[in-house]
Amino acid sequence: MNYPQSMLTTISEHKLKFDKWWIYKIGSGVFTWLLFKFLFSTQSFVASVNCNDLALLILLVGLAVQGHLLNDWGDVGADRLTGKTNILSQLAKRYQFWIVAGVTLLNLSLAYSFFSLPIFALSIAQTILNILYSLPPTRIKERGIISILITGLQERALPYTLIIIYILDQSVSVWFTCCYITWAFVWECRNYIAGQLADEQNDKVSGVKSIVTIYGSEACYGWIRMLSFFEVAFFISWVTMFMLSNSSAIFFAPLIVLFSTMYLLLNRINNFSAVLNGLDYTYNHALLGAACTTSILLNSSQNYWLAAWLIIFPNKVLWAFTTTLFLHIKTALVRMYYIVRKPASLIVNYSIYYFRLYVLRWPESKSRGEDK
């Protein structure tokens, strides 16, 4: 079943590849913000937004764009060989540098102006890791095992740590926080290996030394299986800790199960890879959907705006449910129309007839409309 994509995704997937990071990175970051700032709150369930929150969202988007541009910059030559879309390859080298430098300076200026020193330091660390990962002479993405670890850090662990430091809620358990960040780190490591397997043929053509070309696809599949068990264990651990420590879990946990189960029903799961796809859907969509819905249920008069996140970060299950619901409503209204049309017509016609006959004192034939 098809469902509407985010406007940003539809417009930009062939340029800035929003579909590769909008929901995957920013949507998950928004969930982390909701989880630590509001769902763990013991004082108020009003999910209000201030200027610094918006600045944080812009910073996360900027860091994601920076990482994407740096990766494309380092892959210009390889992508030309394989015919992959690369926005920077369409520009002269001098423009490539200034675009990447401009985005980097904007990010660091934003971090320095709006946030604390630790967040500024993390933004610098994220920038350095992006450069070391993508560009020569280091180009960590071609350095074997270390590329997996650095990817887990720069794509998940550091951004989530940045969000959590921004919130700094002392009521959140250190064990919960560590478990959450570790889960995100392992998830990204597993996803990175899967992405490298998907790019195996292109990497062979372009001569890129990916972990697949270095260690072989069989070893990489083995790593995915091993990491997936740790990933699920940490995921269950932080969800369980959240359920045991917070009253909002009465809505949150069942909603995760509901959205994930509906996804599994909409998509046949018949192998290990498909199971992992179901996990990725849960992480990228069901968690954010459950968080937004929970906040709305906890304070529907103040948190209604969170429904917009479910449109900005489209959820396949929610779109399918909404589409089906509207379809059933439309069918019911059409049936109701045909049921009431005849008696309503009779009531109207007889009302006009008796009004003419007894109020206006028209003759019988004229009251029936026979006498023109």
Q: What pLDDT digit, counting tens, does each position of 90-126 carry?
A: 676 777 788 889 999 999 999 999 999 999 999 999 9
pLDDT band at 365 (very low <50, low <70, confident <90, very high): confident
E strands, the chain, where? none
pLDDT band at 18 (very low <50, low <70, confident <90, very high): low
Residue 94: both structure tokens together: 């001098």
Q: What whole-number distance in Å separates Cα of residue 47 and Cα of residue 166?
A: 16
Per-residue pLDDT, 111: 94
* Contact (CB, 8 A) for 20 and 154: no
The DSSP call for residue 4 is P
Per-residue pLDDT, 12: 43
Per-residue pLDDT, 126: 94
Neighbours of 107 (CB within 10 A): 23
Q: What is the pLDDT of residues 321-356, one digit of tens each?
A: 666 666 667 777 777 877 888 888 888 887 887 777
Give Cα separations from 354 to 118, 230, 349, 351 (angstroms).
Answer: 82, 80, 9, 5
* Contact (CB, 8 A) for 297 and 251: yes
Quote the crossing angle between the two packed helices 158-167 and 117-134, to the nearest 10°. 170
Quote the crossing angle between the two packed helices 174-198 and 272-281, to the nearest 10°. 130
Q: What is the pLDDT of residues 224-260, one digit of tens each?
A: 999 999 999 999 999 999 888 887 788 888 888 888 8
Nearest C-alpha neighbor of 182 from the set 244, 238, 133: 238
Taking 50 as the threshold, does the pLDDT of residue 2 lie above it?
Answer: no
**Residue partners of 267: CB distance under 8 A and separation at least 6:** 274, 277, 278
Per-residue pLDDT, 166: 92
The number of residues making up the chain comes to 372
Nearest C-alpha neighbor of 87 from the set 9, 195, 14, 6: 14
Q: What is the pLDDT of residues 24-52, one digit of tens each?
A: 888 899 999 988 888 876 566 677 788 88
Nearest C-alpha neighbor of 242 from the set 287, 284, 272: 287
Dihedral pair phi/psi, residue 26, rounded to 5°: -70, -40
HEC sequence for 45-111:
CCCCCCHHHHHHHHHHHHHHHHHHHHHHHHCHHHHHHHCCCCHHHHCCHHHHHHHHHHHHHHHHHHH
- Across 3-14, average pLDDT: 41
Torsion, CA 262, CA 265, CA 267, CA 268, rounded to 10: 150
Q: What percent of the chain has pLDDT over 90?
A: 30
Q: What is the pLDDT of residues 181-209, one digit of tens each?
A: 999 999 999 999 998 888 888 777 777 78
